[in-house]
Amino acid sequence: MNSLKIYNTLAREKQLFSPIEPGHVRMYVCGMTIYDYCHIGHGRMMMAFDVVHRWLQASGYRVTYVLNITDIDDKIIRRAVENGESISALTTRFIAFMAEDTAALGILPPTFAPRATEYVPQMLNMIGRLESNGLAYQGSDGDVNFSVRDFPGYGKLSGKSLDDLRAGERVDINTGKRDPLDFVLWKSAKETEPEDAKWPSQWGRGRPGWHIECSAMACALLGEQFDLHGGGVDLQFPHHENEIAQSEGATGKQFVNYWMHNGHIRIDNEKMSKSLGNFFLIRDVLAKYDAEVLRFFMLRAHYRSPLNYSDVHLDDARQALTRLYTALKEVTPIAIELDWDAPYPRRFADAMNDDFNTPLAMAVLFDMATDINRTRAPELAAQLLALAGTLGLLERSPQEFLQGAHGGATDDQGDTLIAEKIAARIAAKQSRDFVSADRIRDELLAAGIVLEDKPGNITEWRRA
């Protein structure tokens, strides 16, 4: 279980994972900017690193996991002003909504979920160190900027050279900057901004830039050098590149050993984003689909690969997950201690240790389900549950999943009606009224209810 290899964006290759402190992994992931509900692209990112978190724990590591919350930002300020409410009221409300979404998806809570506004002193301290090291300066407009050309390693994560970077493409042009490639560390307060978006500093009242927030929170909670840093692939440049420049410029130490980036969710082969208007909120999807189905759908693709979203793919995921639960329905698992040297667990671990290859690991689960259907072996059922559990899957009873409403809500009145129709069908069969029995079966099937006749005049049902 100690042969984990991770694709390190910094090295551009898979590397054997070795934490700085044996047995302890320190991990930081860039979380949400909180001003609206989370969409499934956010869910995919949190899911990807939830699996990393879970597998590290299953591998015997103690994990200190930091998933930050950006609660001060241009978009947040704009939305709060539009709503006529304080920034804190806006962000606190949507943090609660995010917690509901992540809980529904079975995402384990991080060790720390720091809010950027709680770490402004640490950000100011880091900016001061950068200024002392000749890497930060205050522009004519009052903003404090990072001097990109004075940091020799800039571009090592993204592979971009300074000569290739064109001003205005991804960096705002600001007349207060010495160089258009420089980025802001501290934004000078503007008269039009609300008072709760302003903090005192030696450079005047203002607020932190986005990039410095993560550097300060990561160093405060995990130390100046730690093991893993993750986020969406869109953050590789400029956000993560700037994090490296700030952190290493301030401390003189390598900031992070392993960088991980998850792929986007795509709609019709376009990146899903709010700016394109082609996004789906997690809570809207969960109104139609069971949360475990959405989790299963996301885990069928490797975390670094793009993932195409559609109802067709979710319907297929539901049918596939149904196969796993159906295999467990007729078998009562026994209590076991998982033996990682057994054939199926070994294959599963090999897949997960190969850069968290969830598609290959899930293929092992389906092989196990086929074997369980053939052998009805309780030990295999126990292994299947244990392995799936490391991915946050199969954690309910088969009946609960197979008879549950698609949106995850219970429907006791509907269940009562189904039971009544099944009883009427059994009575019709007993009186040899097969026309009525078939009609009831067809009515239920049309309503998405599949009947399964068992020996002893027993009929079970599940949702299609």
Judge contact between 228 and 27, C-beta under 8 A: yes
| Residues making up the binding site | 30, 214, 239, 243, 274
| Number of residues that make up the chain | 464
CB atoms within 10 A of CB 385: 18
Q: Quick one: which of 61, 67, 62 has its CA closest to 48?
A: 67
* DSSP of 206-273: EEE-HHHHHHHHHHHHH-SSEEEEEEEGGGIIIIIHHHHHHHHHHHSS--EEEEEEEPPEEETTEE--
Q: How far apart are CA 377 and CA 358, in angstroms?
A: 25
Q: What are phi and psi of 424, to 5 degrees?
A: -65, -35
Q: Label each residue of 32-99 as H, E or C.
A: CECCCCCEHHHHHHHHHHHHHHHHHHHCCCEEEEEECEECCCHHHHHHHHHHCCCHHHHHHHHHHHHH
Judge contact between 264 and 256, C-beta under 8 A: no
| Residues making up the binding site for ATP | 274
| Paired strand residues for 69 | 115
DSSP strand pairing (458-463 vs 5-8): unpaired
| Residues making up the binding site for Zn(2+) | 30, 214, 239, 243
The percent helix, strand, coil of the chain (3-state, each to 5) is 45, 15, 35
Structure tokens at 353: 């240790």
Q: How far apart are CA 217 and CA 118, in angstroms?
A: 9
CA distances from 220 to 132, 177, 228, 412 (A): 19, 28, 15, 49
Judge contact between 451 and 424, C-beta under 8 A: no
